[in-house]
């Protein structure tokens, strides 16, 4: 097995390397003066099972090109199998035509990764499950629900939490967590007027006096979570926390969280945290190194990955 780290999230790659006790392969991934990406693998990969660890987070296009060029370098170096490990799959929210003459960018990115030479994809909490069908190669889509359920049990002393989906589209995810914790479920009904702006309409379920836990896959502007938290507090909720897989946190998201009604927001380290995120007292990270490391080991050893969902 060979592990190669892109530049998007080196701490996570190093954590996976330490968990697997496999050193990161020596490679040069840099840019020329005109910002073209250059990759050179500095050790033999012929016949090897290679895993590239690279989130296509901000700057999404640069990190995506790094991934594609690295895959091509490995393919031309005669690697036996190339697995693109994408803790965060960028462009996932563009999974359908939102209007006339608009792209399905998630499908385009899937095609780029496949044509570049990847034999397999490992990712975490795809925004839409159907994106797996955009690839013509095997895709292992891991779920963060087991990690969140364990963290809730370890850090929350409340006996009967209420799991809340911040929108109708996230009900399946929220229901899965509520089932694991054997607790109730509520839904926030919202209407999104335009991208990045959401308006809460009403709450489906009884939240008065309850300790609510919002569950979502991506927090970008954090408008959805903060508006949902405000609505829950107005409906009489005792407290509101949130669990989010991918903390994108663009624009004024962190300030919005710091000044909002959310008591705490827990994210994974699928995206490298900025200093602003690290310094926010309301944001806490769950490390993914052992979780992704175990998945990588199971893929390498041809074992079941669905075991991780139990």
Residues contributing to the annotated binding site for Mg(2+):
127, 167
Length of the chain: 310
The answer to whether 190 is a known catalytic residue is yes
The one-character DSSP state at 119 is: S
SS3 content of the chain, % helix, strand, coil (to 5): 35, 25, 35
Phi-psi region of 274 (alpha: psi -120 to 50; beta: other; left: phi over 0): beta
CB 182 within 8 A of CB 211: no
Cα angle at 86 between 85 and 87, to 5 degrees? 110
Token look-up 């496949």 returns: 114
**Which of 218, 198, 193 has the alpha carbon at shortest distance from 270?**
218
Binding-site annotation, residues for D-ribose 5-phosphate: 192, 216, 220-224
Contacts 24+ apart (CB under 8 A), 191-197: 196/220, 196/221, 196/223, 197/221, 197/223
Token look-up 């709450």 returns: 203
Residue 76's alpha-carbon distances to 11, 30, 69, 97, 117, in angstroms, are 27, 18, 11, 35, 9
Binding-site annotation, residues: 34-36, 93-94, 127, 167, 192, 216, 220-224
Q: Give the strands of the sheet with 120-124, arranged side by side.
A: 2-5, 49-53, 81-86, 120-124, 139-142
**Which of 81, 93, 62 has the alpha carbon at shortest distance from 122?**
81
Catalytic residue among 107, 190, 208, 263: 190
Q: Which residues are known catalytic residues?
A: 190
């Amino acid at each position: 097995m060979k592990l190669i780290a892109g530049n998007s999230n080196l701490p996570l790659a190093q954590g996976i390397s330490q968990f697997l006790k496999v050193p990161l392969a020596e490679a040069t991934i840099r840019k020329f003066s005109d910002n073209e990406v250059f990759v050179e693998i500095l050790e033999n990969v012929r016949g090897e099972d290679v895993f590239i660890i690279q989130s296509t987070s901000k700057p999404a296009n640069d990190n995506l090109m790094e991934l594609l060029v690295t895959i091509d370098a490995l393919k031309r170096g005669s690697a036996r199998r190339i697995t693109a490990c994408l803790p965060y799959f960028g462009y996932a929210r563009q999974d359908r035509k939102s209007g006339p003459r608009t792209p399905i960018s998630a499908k385009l990115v899937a095609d780029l990764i496949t044509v570049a030479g990847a034999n397999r994809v490992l990712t975490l909490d795809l925004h839409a499950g159907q994106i797996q069908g955009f690839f013509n190669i095997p895709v292992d889509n891991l779920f963060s629900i087991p990690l969140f359920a364990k963290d809730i049990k370890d850090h929350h002393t409340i006996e009967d939490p209420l799991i809340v989906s911040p929108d109708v589209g996230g009900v399946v995810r929220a229901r899965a967590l509520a089932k694991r914790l054997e607790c109730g479920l509520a839904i926030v009904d919202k209407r999104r007027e335009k991208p990045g702006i959401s308006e809460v309409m009403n709450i489906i379920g009884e939240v008065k006096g309850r300790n609510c836990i919002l569950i979502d896959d991506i927090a970008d502007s954090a408008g959805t979570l903060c508006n949902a938290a405000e609505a829950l507090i107005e409906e009489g909720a005792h407290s509101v926390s949130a669990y989010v897989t991918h903390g994108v946190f663009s624009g004024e998201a962190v300030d919005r969280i710091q000044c909002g009604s959310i008591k705490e927001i827990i994210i994974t380290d699928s995206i490298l945290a900025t200093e602003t995120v690290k310094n926010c007292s309301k944001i806490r990270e769950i490390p993914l190194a052992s979780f992704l490391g175990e998945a990588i080991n199971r893929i390498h050893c041809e074992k079941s990955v669905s075991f991780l969902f139990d």
